[in-house]
Each structure stands twice: as structure tokens, then as C-alpha cells.
């Protein structure tokens, strides 16, 4: 077990390296040493040069929590709500506090630089990593990112903004060529990076896997050097995404400073040779080394020891904060007849596939080994003094539920995992190591052992006691090869004829399954025999090779869908207060794989519809990181969107349901009624190695407003248990004519204290080119007591906030003419409006 830190990190003592100067060290480095600094030492660390007192620094995922240095056997961490949940808070101050917690967690894990935040744009609803990013709107995404980064900096921790740029799908992500106009690139996809850089000057940026108009971003001089370095005057470090470096000379000359991870695939002797052949100049090499040295020197000021032990915080104040963020991120989409909040004194029926599982984060590199995670059922049970009853209703999994915690070894929950260099057919094979685990989703990406051969094997074994008699399904997916046995009987083989699937960041197989009749109370021995990735002949083009591979095994008793729904209907009919917990999870939304539809898992829609028919006052709590279809939305009186809410997801849900917290979240994404309504419907996924960003600048609400396609729920929408009104709009010019103050009065016209988000949009009246109807340019969140009013002043920048990218001249253009300043509490509905006239056209560049 990892050591805990209960009070302070002050006892950590820094490694004793003497002070050093970047320029002086640069002059003393040999060419070999310079080259060695331009790639990671291993998966998470930069290279150290002890003779010159240059330490190694640690990088760590990720955007919603700090994993540390291990996918396999990682030290538990705090898990915040996912990126879209943080976006839904529309709260800049909260983003700073999130940065503070992540900074403390990074220090506990010995990490100097956090690989986040993620600020790619959700141009469509199907992106596998859409849940990681803040918003479809670049201003909201960039602003929250800037405050998040400043929170990290307050704790001495650097941030690596990612992924620069247009890393907006997982399909063929390493090879896809993004075809995009310069205008869309500037106004939508680069803008969040620009805003965050202006607000916070991040320590680093991570380049995306994909190409832009034919050139991989990690080799794109026009983006890395011409825009970010020269135009924005940013002097941080460019690092590649993991295995996202594709060349030696091209990447160095474009400005990619650090290849990750190490050991290097592209630098080392190849780069030394390129320097000697003048394919890379000495000055170019020095520029790359200078950026690495600067990051290392700046990071060393945090006084985090080199190769520090990884520890747990898990402090009471952190748990309270995680609960606060979870609750404040939730969006009350509907609340007809004021069904919510519930009374805790009355019985509650909790129904649905997400009720007794803690869907706390999405899948992939954003996933974490959380300290703990509270299920919605447990959260509701903790506050419902009138009693709680449960019905499953339907399963919502994509792969069978993990079995690790349901197995035992000598009465202890979990299973034994053994490591070997030889296959199971070798009777004399020697045991290398043995561990006891509970997590049966095992990714050996960074596993190491001093005696490990290039080809090696593992065996998982534990006892399963059937809780009920019936047919049980068992499943196995692998990156590598594997077989699953019950009492020595081969039930699942995932060796021959393997089918590519989304597991293990897109490098694994689909789950193969088998079934067996089990008897209640009887003990069965489950064994999984696995071979590492090199034992498989299957390779999926366009995916990342993440090394050793992995295995995942699961299982559960088979249920009859109709019988389960009928049981849920009977329960819903017997009580007044019903909560249906449904949605997606980390297997549906994950790095390495995009969704194919917006639909909920099979049988979910039927379950919800049938329960609503039986009890129209049922409340739907939906969990997903991106939009899902809701064909029953018109029937539902109350819908809460709860995202992936981190460690405290269940408590956050219960706080909102019972009115302990008045919801104030707003949608950072437009929820379309149907998949075909979204702007990327005709231009999503890689076709022939390319994806066309055919919607241009009309992303998210910009598209729905331009085409007059009504969404299911609009960008910026979110209700409260109280009501608010806006009045008294004024637009005041400052002494600097480019700075305006938008003033209005916010009044709480209801009976409960609550918070509201004031959203400021700028609408060009008759622009010289086709432009979106309006665009978000500022926002502010204010808490107001019932019956009270507060004045709200929101600054906007007249030059920047009226500009579009003028492609002919390659500059930003603020064009003369009329504009409307529009203020509301959503992108839709009524807005206060004031006209504004610009007397002359101006061009500009830079931040």
C-alpha cells in the first residue's frame, strides 16, 4: 500500500542539485548529451545529466486526476469530474480551485508537469475522448483552461495543454489527415489554445497525433513555430503525444522539443547522424535543448524530489471539494411540476443500469485508480431516511462487468496474478512474480521486471461463488492472446481469428464470450492464461502500439430483458419517488475508439419509457460525457445530466436530488435531437485517410442557430430550483476604447438561494462575410440569495470579440459595422440586447 500524506507535503526533500544556468549548461553539453535530452528517459520522465546537475522531471496524466507513473499497479488518486462536467460549471474561480487540488495531488505523486488540461473541440457528439474536453465553444474551453493552469501554477506545477490541434476523433487518429480551412482552424480549434496561453502561459503543449492539411502536427512548422512561437510569443516546450513523433529531422526542424515516451524511437544515433549531415543545424538542435532545459529548470523550483515516492492524499477537505464539484457540474435539464427536489423522508425507488456502479470517469488515459467511488444508489441511500428499494431494469455494459472484486483467494476478495517467461505448456516454467489484485481490467503498458523476456506470459486465478443459480456469461478481451477456463474447462478463447476492438486504447480485441450454467453457492475456479502482445499476430493499422498489452475479464448472470423491465415497472408503480439511473461509461466513451451512434445501451430506452408510463413523475439521471439520444425526453418531467462525476459522483447526485445543492450547471455542449442533426453527420471518421471539417466554423450551437435546426437542449442551458431575471443592460466604454464593460442586474425571483451563469454573446448585424448568428464572448457566475439582486460587470475586448480570421490577408479582422451585445442565461431563449457600432475596420495578429 502506498504511504499516505495527511497534513503536508513539506517533509519531501528536494534532490540536491546545484543551481545551474540554461545557457551555461547548453555550452557544456556534448552533442550526444543534447540529443539524449530530447526524448524521455522512460514512459514518464525526462533524461537527467548528473554531471551537470540537470535533474529528471516527472510528467503524469491527466486532465481529471493525477495517475502517477503506472497504468499497472498505480497508486490510488483523487478523481475529479470529467472535462465536460468541469465545463458545465462555467465557473472560472472553481477551475482555479481544481488546479489547486490537482497541484497538491501532483506533488503527492512526485509529478512536476500535469498532462492536461484537454481542450480539443467536440465538433460532433461521437468522439471517444469528447468527455475529456471542456466545451464545443473555444472561448469557454480556453478560459476555463487558463484558470485551471493558473491554479496548478499556484502550487508550483506546470501544465501541458493538449492536444495541439484538431485531435477531435479517435478513428485512425495517428494517420488521419484533417482537411480544414485556415479560418476554422483559427476561430474554433486554435482559439482555446490561444485564450489559455494569453491567460496563463502554460509550461508545455502536447502535439496531436493527426495531420493538418497533409502534415502531422508534430512536424508542422506553420503551427508550432509560425503561429505559437512567433505570433503568440510563447516560449514553453512542445512535447509529442505518446508515440506521436514520426520523424527525426522533420520534427526537430518544425520545433518539436521532446519526444515522448522514452527510450527514443527517432532521436538518439539517428539525430546525431542528422546533425553531422547538416540535416539539422546545430542552432536548431540547441533551440530544442534550450526548451527542455528551461522546463526542467522551472519545474525544479517546485522542490519535488527526483524520482519521488508516490503517495496518497485522500484528505477530508479534498473529499468535500470533490463532492462540491460533482454537484455543481450537474445540469438540471427539465423539472416540470417542480418534481425535484425530492423529500428524503419518503421512500425512493432506484432503478437502472448505472445505479449500483460508480461511473466516475471515462476510459483511456484519463481513467484513474480512484481512492474510492460512490455509486448513485449509495449516495441516495445515505440521504433517504424514508428507505430505498432497487430494481436493475436493464444492463448497460458494453463489455461484461469486471469480475475481479467478485473473486476470492483463500477468502480474500480478488485474484492471484502470476508472471512467467514461458507459456503454460512448459511444465518447468519459473514463477517471476505473484501479485494479488481486484481490478480485472489489467493494462501492462508500463509493467517491468528485471528478468522479463521480450515474450512473456501471465495467469490470473481466483474462486467465484455463484450468488444465484442460472446461466452466467464470461468474457475476455486482450491485447495479446488469452484463454479463460472455468474449473479447467475452456470457455473462452481469444487467440485465433481475433477481432479488432476498442480495448487497451484501441490496440486490443473485441470481447469474446462463453456461457455456463452455475449453481447458487457453489465455488468455481476461474483461470485466465494470457500471452503478451507479441504472441498475437493481429495488428490494427492507425493505432498506437502500447507495448506489453493487457487483458480484461468479466462476467455476470444473464437476465431476461423483459422480465427485468417488468420488475422495474412494478417497483416504480408502488412508490411516489423514482430515480432512473442510466447512461454510458468508460467502455462506451474511451480513448482509442469513437462511438458509432448516440444511442444508449440496448434496452435502456425501453426501460425508461416503460417506467415513465408506470410513474410519470420518475426522474431520469443520465450519465455520459457527451450527448446521447433521449427519445423519451418529451414524456419525462425531470432530467438531470450527471456526467462522469469523479470519486463523489453518487453523493453529488444525491445532493442535487434531495436539494442539498441547488443545481447551477449549464450545458457546455449542444445536445441534438438526433445524430443526423449534428454538424459533422456527413463528415465524421476517417475515409480514405482523411476527414473533412466541412462544417467549417459552424461548430456546436453556431451550426444549429445558422441552420435553424432545433436541438434537444441548447448550449448554455441549465435550470435551477429557483428562478432568475436579468435587467438593466448597459454597455460602458472604458478609457481604452477596446475595453467594454457589460453591466446588468441579476435578481433571484424565487424562494431558494442559487447561482446563475450570465452569458454574453456578440452578434454581427451585417458582416462582410458569412458569420455565425452569435458567439459567446464572456460569462460570469453569481450566487444570489432569494429576493436579492446583484449588479454584474463583465469585461469584453471590443477588438478581439468582434473579429474573424480574414484568410486573404492572414490576419484577424474587426470589421466596421453594427453589432448586438446580447446577454442571457443560455444560447437560446430571450436575451437582453444593446446595439454597438464600429466606425472603422482594423486588422491585428498575436494573442
Residue 682 is assigned to a structural domain of this protein: no
Residue 14 clears pLDDT 90, i.e. is over it: no
Residues 367 and 421 in one domain: no
Residue 17 is predicted with a pLDDT of 56
Residue 691 is assigned to a structural domain of this protein: no
Residues 522 and 587 in one domain: no
Residues 270 and 195 in one domain: yes
Domain end (from 541, 557, 573): 557
Q: What is the pLDDT of residues 259-285, one digit of tens each?
A: 999 999 999 999 999 999 999 999 999
Residue 517 is predicted with a pLDDT of 97
Residues 205 and 61 in one domain: yes
Residue 16 is predicted with a pLDDT of 53
E-strand ranges in 412-469 read 412-413, 415-420, 431-437, 441-443, 457-465
Residues 578 and 444 in one domain: no
512 within 8 A of 481, measured Cβ to Cβ: no
Residue 542 clears pLDDT 90, i.e. is over it: no
Average pLDDT of the residues of the chain: 95
Residue 541 is predicted with a pLDDT of 62
Of residues 455, 414, 404, 456, the one with CA closest to residue 432: 456
Residue 13 clears pLDDT 60, i.e. is over it: no
Residues 487 and 584 in one domain: no
Residue 543 is predicted with a pLDDT of 61
Residue 3 clears pLDDT 50, i.e. is over it: no
Residue 324: CB partners within 8 Å, gap ≥ 6?
Answer: none
Domain end (from 268, 300, 332): 300
Task: Take residue 95 and report the three cell numbers written for it.
Answer: 477551475
Residue 62 is predicted with a pLDDT of 80
Residues 191 and 115 in one domain: yes
Residue 309 is assigned to a structural domain of this protein: no
Residues 553 and 566 in one domain: no
Q: What average pLDDT does the segment 480-506 reach? A: 94
Residue 210 is assigned to a structural domain of this protein: yes
Residue 700 is assigned to a structural domain of this protein: no
Residue 167 clears pLDDT 70, i.e. is over it: yes
Residue 519 is assigned to a structural domain of this protein: yes
Residue 662 is predicted with a pLDDT of 98
CA gap 604, 608 in Å, rounded: 6
Residue 9 is predicted with a pLDDT of 41
CA gap 144, 133 in Å, rounded: 11
Q: What is the pLDDT of residues 306-317, one digit of tens each?
A: 999 999 999 999
Q: What is the pLDDT of residues 754-796, one digit of tens each?
A: 999 999 999 999 999 999 999 999 999 999 999 999 999 999 9
396 within 8 A of 383, measured Cβ to Cβ: no
Residues 526 and 552 in one domain: yes
CATH of the domain at 65: 3.20.20.300
Residue 506 is predicted with a pLDDT of 83
To the question of pTM greater than 0.85 for the whole model, the response is yes
Task: Identify the band that residue 18 occupies on the pLDDT scale cut at 50, 70 and 90.
Answer: low
Residues 36 and 112 in one domain: yes
CATH of the domain at 348: 3.40.50.1700
The catalytically annotated residue of 241, 441, 655, 801 is 241
**Number of other CB atoms surrounding residue 102 within 10 Å:** 28
Residue 376 is predicted with a pLDDT of 98
* Positive or negative torsion for Cα 176, 182, 186, 188: negative
Residues 160 and 267 in one domain: yes
Residue 134: CB partners within 8 Å, gap ≥ 6?
Answer: 83, 84, 86, 87, 117, 118, 119, 140, 141, 144, 145, 192, 668
- 517 is a catalytic site residue: no
Residue 260 is assigned to a structural domain of this protein: yes
Q: What is the pLDDT of residues 562-571, one digit of tens each?
A: 999 999 999 9
Residues 423 and 291 in one domain: no
Residue 1 is predicted with a pLDDT of 42
Q: Which domain holds residue 410?
A: 404-557
Residue 311 is assigned to a structural domain of this protein: no
Domain end (from 668, 700, 733): 668
CATH of the domain at 419: 2.60.120.260
Q: What is the pLDDT of residues 625-671, one digit of tens each?
A: 999 999 999 999 999 999 999 999 999 999 999 999 999 999 999 99
Q: Report the number of distinct structural domains present in the chain.
A: 4
Residue 752: CB partners within 8 Å, gap ≥ 6?
Answer: 659, 662, 720, 721, 722, 786
CA gap 200, 188 in Å, rounded: 19
Residue 651 is predicted with a pLDDT of 98
The share of the chain scoring above pLDDT 90, in percent, equals 92
Residue 809 clears pLDDT 70, i.e. is over it: yes
Amino acid at each position: 500500500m502506498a504511504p499516505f500524506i495527511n497534513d503536508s507535503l513539506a517533509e519531501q526533500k528536494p534532490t540536491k542539485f546545484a543551481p545551474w544556468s540554461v545557457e551555461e549548461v547548453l555550452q557544456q553539453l556534448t552533442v550526444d548529451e543534447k540529443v539524449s535530452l530530447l526524448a524521455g528517459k522512460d514512459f514518464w520522465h525526462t533524461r537527467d545529466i548528473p554531471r551537470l546537475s540537470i535533474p529528471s522531471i516527472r510528467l503524469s496524466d491527466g486532465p481529471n486526476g493525477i495517475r502517477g507513473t503506472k497504468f499497472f499497479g498505480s497508486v490510488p488518486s483523487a478523481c475529479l469530474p470529467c472535462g465536460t462536467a468541469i465545463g458545465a460549471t462555467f465557473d472560472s474561480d472553481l477551475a482555479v480551485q481544481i488546479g489547486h487540488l490537482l497541484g497538491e495531488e501532483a506533488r503527492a505523486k512526485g509529478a512536476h508537469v500535469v498532462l492536461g488540461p484537454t481542450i480539443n473541440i467536440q465538433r460532433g457528439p461521437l468522439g471517444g475522448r469528447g468527455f475529456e474536453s471542456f466545451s464545443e465553444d473555444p472561448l469557454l474551453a480556453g478560459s476555463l483552461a487558463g484558470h485551471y493552469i493558473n491554479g496548478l501554477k499556484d502550487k508550483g506545477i506546470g501544465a501541458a495543454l493538449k492536444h495541439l490541434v484538431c485531435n477531435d476523433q479517435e478513428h485512425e487518429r495517428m494517420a488521419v489527415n484533417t482537411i480544414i480551412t485556415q479560418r476554422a482552424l483559427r476561430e474554433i480549434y486554435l482559439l482555446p489554445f490561444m485564450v489559455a496561453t494569453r491567460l496563463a502561459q502554460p509550461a508545455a503543449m502536447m502535439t496531436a497525433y493527426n495531420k493538418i492539411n497533409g502534415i502531422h502536427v508534430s512536424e508542422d512548422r506553420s503551427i508550432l513555430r509560425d503561429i505559437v512561437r512567433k505570433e503568440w510569443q510563447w516560449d514553453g516546450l512542445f512535447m509529442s503525444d505518446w508515440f506521436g513523433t514520426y520523424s527525426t529531422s522533420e520534427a526537430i526542424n518544425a520545433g518539436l522539443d521532446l519526444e515522448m515516451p522514452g527510450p527514443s524511437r527517432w532521436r538518439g544515433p539517428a539525430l546525431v547522424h542528422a546533425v553531422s549531415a547538416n540535416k539539422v543545424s546545430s542552432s536548431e538542435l540547441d533551440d530544442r535543448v534550450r526548451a527542455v532545459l528551461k522546463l526542467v529548470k522551472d519545474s525544479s523550483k517546485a522542490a519535488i524530489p527526483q524520482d519521488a515516492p508516490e503517495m496518497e492524499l485522500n484528505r477530508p477537505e479534498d473529499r468535500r471539494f470533490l463532492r462540491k464539484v460533482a454537484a455543481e457540474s450537474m445540469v438540471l435539464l427539465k423539472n416540470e411540476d417542480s418534481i425535484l427536489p425530492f423529500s428524503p423522508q419518503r421512500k425512493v425507488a432506484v432503478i437502472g443500469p448505472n445505479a449500483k456502479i460508480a461511473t466516475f470517469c471515462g476510459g483511456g488515459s484519463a481513467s484513474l485508480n480512484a481512492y474510492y467511488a460512490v455509486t448513485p444508489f449509495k449516495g441516495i441511500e445515505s440521504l433517504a431516511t424514508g428507505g430505498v428499494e432497487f430494481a436493475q431494469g436493464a444492463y448497460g455494459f458494453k463489455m461484461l462487468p469486471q469480475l475481479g472484486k467478485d473473486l476470492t483467494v483463500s477468502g480474500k476478495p480478488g485474484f492471484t496474478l502470476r508472471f512467467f517467461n514461458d507459456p503454460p505448456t512448459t511444465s518447468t516454467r519459473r514463477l517471476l512474480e505473484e501479485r494479488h489484485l481486484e481490478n480485472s481490467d489489467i493494462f501492462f503498458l508500463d509493467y517491468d521486471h528485471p528478468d522479463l523476456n521480450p515474450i512473456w506470459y501471465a495467469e490470473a486465478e481466483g474462486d467465484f461463488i455463484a450468488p444465484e443459480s442460472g446461466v452466467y456469461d464470461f468474457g475476455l478481451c486482450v491485447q495479446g492472446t488469452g484463454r479463460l477456463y472455468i474449473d479447467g474447462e475452456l470457455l473462452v478463447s481469444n487467440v485465433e481469428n481475433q477481432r479488432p476492438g476498442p480495448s487497451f486504447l484501441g490496440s486490443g480485441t473485441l470481447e469474446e464470450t462463453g456461457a455456463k450454467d452455475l449453481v447458487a453457492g457453489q465455488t468455481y475456479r476461474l483461470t485466465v492464461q494470457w500471452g503478451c502482445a507479441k504472441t498475437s499476430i493481429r495488428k490494427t493499422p492507425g493505432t498506437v502500439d502500447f507495448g506489453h498489452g493487457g487483458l480484461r475479464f468479466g462476467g455476470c448472470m444473464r437476465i431476461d430483458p423483459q422480465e427485468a423491465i417488468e420488475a422495474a415497472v412494478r417497483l416504480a408503480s408502488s412508490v411516489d419517488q423514482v430515480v432512473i439511473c442510466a447512461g454510458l461509461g468508460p467502455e462506451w466513451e474511451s480513448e482509442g475508439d469513437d462511438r458509432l451512434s448516440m444511442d444508449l445501451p440496448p434496452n435502456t430506452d425501453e426501460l425508461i419509457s416503460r417506467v415513465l408510463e408506470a410513474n410519470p413523475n420518475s426522474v431520469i439521471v443520465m450519465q455520459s460525457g457527451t450527448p446521447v439520444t433521449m427519445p423519451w425526453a418529451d414524456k419525462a418531467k425531470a432530467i438531470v445530466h450527471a456526467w462522469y462525476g469523479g470519486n463523489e459522483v453518487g453523493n453529488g447526485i444525491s445532493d442535487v436530488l434531495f436539494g442539498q445543492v441547488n443545481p447551477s450547471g449549464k450545458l457546455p455542449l449542444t445536445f441534438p435531437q438526433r445524430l443526423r442533426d449534428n454538424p459533422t453527420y456527413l463528415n465524421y471518421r476517417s475515409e480514405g485517410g482523411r476527414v473533412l471539417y466541412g462544417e467549417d466554423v459552424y461548430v456546436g450551437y453556431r451550426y444549429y442557430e445558422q441552420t435553424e435546426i432545433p436541438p434537444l437542449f441548447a448550449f448554455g442551458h441549465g435550470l435551477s430550483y429557483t428562478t432568475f431575471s436579468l435587467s438593466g443592460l448597459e454597455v460602458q466604454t472604458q478609457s481604452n476604447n477596446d475595453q467594454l464593460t457589460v453591466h446588468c442586474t441579476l435578481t433571484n425571483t424565487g424562494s431558494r438561494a442559487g447561482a446563475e451563469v450570465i452569458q454574453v454573446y456578440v452578434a454581427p448585424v451585417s458582416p462582410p462575410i458569412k458569420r455565425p448568428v452569435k458567439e459567446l464572448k464572456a460569462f460570469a457566475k453569481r450566487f444570489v440569495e432569494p429576493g436579492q439582486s446583484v449588479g454584474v460587470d463583465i469585461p469584453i475586448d471590443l477588438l478581439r470579440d468582434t473579429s474573424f480570421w480574414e484568410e486573404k490577408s492572414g490576419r484577424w479582422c474587426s470589421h466596421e459595422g453594427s453589432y448586438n451585445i446580447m446577454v442571457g442565461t443560455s444560447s437560446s431563449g430571450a436575451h437582453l440586447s444593446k446595439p454597438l457600432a464600429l466606425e472603422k475596420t482594423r486588422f491585428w495578429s498575436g494573442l
